[in-house]
Amino acid sequence: MCGSSNVATALHARDAFGHAGASMDRLERYQRRTQTPLDVLALVTLWLVAVPPAKLGMDTAVAVTLRAALSVVYALDFAIRVALAPEHRRYFRTHRRFLIVVILPATRLVFSLRLLGSGFRRGDLREFGAVALALFLNGATIVYFYEHHAHGANIHTYGEALWWAVVTVSTVGYGDFYPVTPGGRVTAVMLMVLAFTVLAVVTAQIAASFIEQAQSQRGAKAPAERGPTS
């Protein structure tokens, strides 16, 4: 009788473990499928959530609705993750940071920056450059919305905002255009950090390419210098 009970307990534990493993597999598959699209969504909508609705130059109700739609997307993503997790309550408790993203969609960018890291780690300059370009265009757009109607501002068109962003990222700094609002200046600092990061990565890639070419040339010359073997 005791033996039968032990067998039943073992079978129940095995079934529970198998169910948990299957749930974890579903969660991991869901995360792999949705992580990059959500990261891209956060990148292309950064300007929408980083600028107050009143400054966006559109109907305030439309801006608020769009931002609420983003929060709904992030809320659904978190709800699906909780539902797929083997231990729902534990996953909810240990991943509450995702609730911050639902309330403040702009913070989703922190997770999206992993695209920069993955591009750097894999040496994929196209992915790295695409993310950097998206951040650059967001910076120019955010500065435009903050500045174009601000008192004492000298950036009034999107073209001027793009020119200012190019000058800032290139570290030339002509000084013909500059932000005067706190939001614009914070964005300028972020663009400067982005510029230094991109410059460091590109420099490292160029240096690595030269080293690889030099090693290949030395490897090709070595057999010729040794001459034919008898």
CA distances from 116 to 135, 197, 198 (A): 10, 10, 10
Identify whether 214 is part of a domain.
yes
**Mean pLDDT of all residues in 165-194:** 89
SS3 40: helix
Q: Which residues, in sequence order, are CB contacts of 92 under 8 Å at separation 6+?
A: 82
Cβ of 206: how many Cβ atoms within 10 Å? 10
CA–CA dist 28, 122 (Å, integer)? 21
Domain that holds residue 86: 17-111
CA 161 to chain centre: 23
Please give the tally of structural domains in the chain: 2
CA–CA dist 210, 127 (Å, integer)? 21
Query: Which of 111, 143, 174 is the last residue before a domain boundary?
Result: 111
C-alpha torsion sign, points 22, 25, 31, 36? negative
Convert the pLDDT of each residue in 67-119 to its tens digit. Answer: 999 999 999 999 999 999 988 899 999 988 888 888 888 888 777 777 676 66
Query: Which of 111, 143, 169 is the last residue before a domain boundary?
Result: 111
Q: What is the per-residue pLDDT for 123?
A: 64
Task: Please say whether the beta carbons of 67 and 52 come within 8 A.
Answer: no
**Mean pLDDT of all residues in 203-215:** 76
Convert the pLDDT of each residue in 3-56 to its tens digit. Answer: 555 544 544 444 444 445 566 788 899 988 998 888 888 888 889 988 988 888
Task: Please say whether the beta carbons of 27 and 81 come within 8 A.
Answer: yes
Convert the pLDDT of each residue in 147-157 to its tens digit. Answer: 998 999 999 99
Band the pLDDT of 143: cuts 50, 70, 90.
very high
Assign residue 153 the CATH number of its domain.
1.10.287.70
